[in-house]
Amino acid sequence: VGMRLRWLSIAVLTIVACAPTAGSSEAPPPATGSSEAPPPATYEAFAKTACDAFEAMFTAVGNPDTGAGSELSTQLDDAIERGDHAAANRLAEAILEELARGRQAASAAAAWEPGAPAMAELHDVLAAFGAYVRAKQESSTSNPVDAQAAFEAAGGVTSWRAMLEASMALIEARPS
């Protein structure tokens, strides 16, 4: 039952955030003279930035629910296994940059009030994945570090569960 609820929750969150609605349109362009997109005060703007946050996670580390790693995380693991410290550092930095992009998108998506709880937790999950990647990076050059323990110590598991729970409230908040 727990596994089914997890799958249902993540499916609901991605469908609610990433599926278009009947009247949806693209997010408005940034204001003239501004280099940043306006905060997502609408569902449509929330959906775009929330999807960007999830895409960053999938690109950086893969899908946590299925355990499938990303291309980058697989390459990082391979570099660590080969003892290629330079490649491991380069790949870890690329993953950390992608996670930072995801955190920025999750923070922007949190401006849409109904999505704020789920996006705040997603931000924290992405930060915990940063701790995970830094632990792997450290393991590539010194004594082994338990990356999963680093993720858990950073609150990743707690935030993941809280994000899934918060996502259920988005079903009713999503415009039809």
pLDDT tens for 48-88 read 999 999 999 999 999 888 888 999 999 999 999 999 999 99
pTM of structure: 0.80
Q: Which residues contact 166 (CB under 8 A, 6 or more apart)?
A: 117, 118, 121
Averaged over 92-99, what is the pLDDT?
Answer: 98
Query: Which residue in this structure is represented by tokens 């999938």?
Result: 58
How high is the pLDDT of residue 82? 92
Alpha-carbon 138 to chain mean position: 22
Phi-psi group of 33: left, alpha or beta (phi > 0 → left; psi -120 to 50 → alpha; rest → beta): left
- The type of residue at 129 is F
Say which range, 28-42, 57-71, 134-148, has the weakest mean pLDDT.
Answer: 28-42
C-alpha dist (Å) from residue 100 to 11, 13, 23, 28, 173: 23, 20, 31, 23, 27
Q: How confident is the model at residue 1 (pLDDT cuts 50, 70, 90)?
A: very low
Average pLDDT for the chain: 82
Q: Is the pLDDT of residue 156 over 50?
A: yes
Using the predicted structure, report yes or no on whether residue 12 has a pLDDT greater than 90.
no
Distance (Å, whole) CA 67 – CA 18? 21
State residue 155 phi and psi, 5-degree precision.
85, 15
